[in-house]
Amino acid sequence: MITYLITNDNSNTRLDVFLNEKYPDFSRSHIQNLIRNEDVIIERNNKKLEKLKTGEKLKNNDKIFINFKEPKKIDLSPENIEIEIVYEDDDLAVINKPQGLVVHPSQSTKSGTLVNALLYKLNNLSGINGNLRPGIVHRLDKNTSGLMIVAKNDFAHVNLAKQIENKTCHRIYEAIIDGRFKEPEGEIITKIERDKKDRKKMAVSDSGKIAITKYRTLEFFRDYSLVEFELKTGRTHQIRVHCKHLHHSIIGDDVYGGSNKFKLKGQCLCAKKIVFEHPKTKEKMEFEIPLPLFFENILSFLRKNNAV
């Protein structure tokens, strides 16, 4: 049972909005089901509120109790898909997701995903994120490679999700972009929401959720740059959208305007490093991987043929 005490900062916030902020990787339907199934309880003035609605407005000093039940049987098949497990213990695993692998199934796609591979490779996965996303604390886009943390129980899942929310989990990426940013390093702060003209894309807007990305240029070429990014928030497609916003898309990103001279199968973006605190031992955990071979090959070509 997880407990929260509402303060003035969250007073008058809708219950579903509050839960979405605490558990950003939960689907809307999963949050609605938690409330509908009475797995979420609100005590106000020491009395339990009856017949909670998703839009219930929270008040100062409300107590929220969340009961994460044992997950239902996952109707997905384990598949022997090759993935690299960088680290594993009883609570979590750190994996290196290859480019081109979808992270979790959907109602229409229930095979060939990272989740199918995890069901084959790992004995346990957390279940609080729904039956189609066991163990998934945070996501990478299909065509983004690199490090992900996978939770093996609900305690670890909640703890790791809070670290991401509180910005104490550090996620470092590298990408090759077209051209170079006006400033070699800085911080991009915008709001991001679903593109109103194309629901498959995200866009910078005045009404979305805050998105913060730090960046630092590591290497300049004549027509390109190697850039390091650190996510301070975790919006969908955040780095890709922010690059487009600065008019320098990631190469290979055909969704957000990146060039594709190198005939890539997706954006040249890798989650290279991750730092977090172990949920139980409180030990600092730090992992870093080499860039994928295709990424290194492009860098080698640019160093020889596109030097400044």
Active site residues per annotation: 141
A 10 A CB-CB count for 108 gives 5
d(CA 177, CA 240): 10
- CA–CA dist 276, 284 (Å, integer): 6
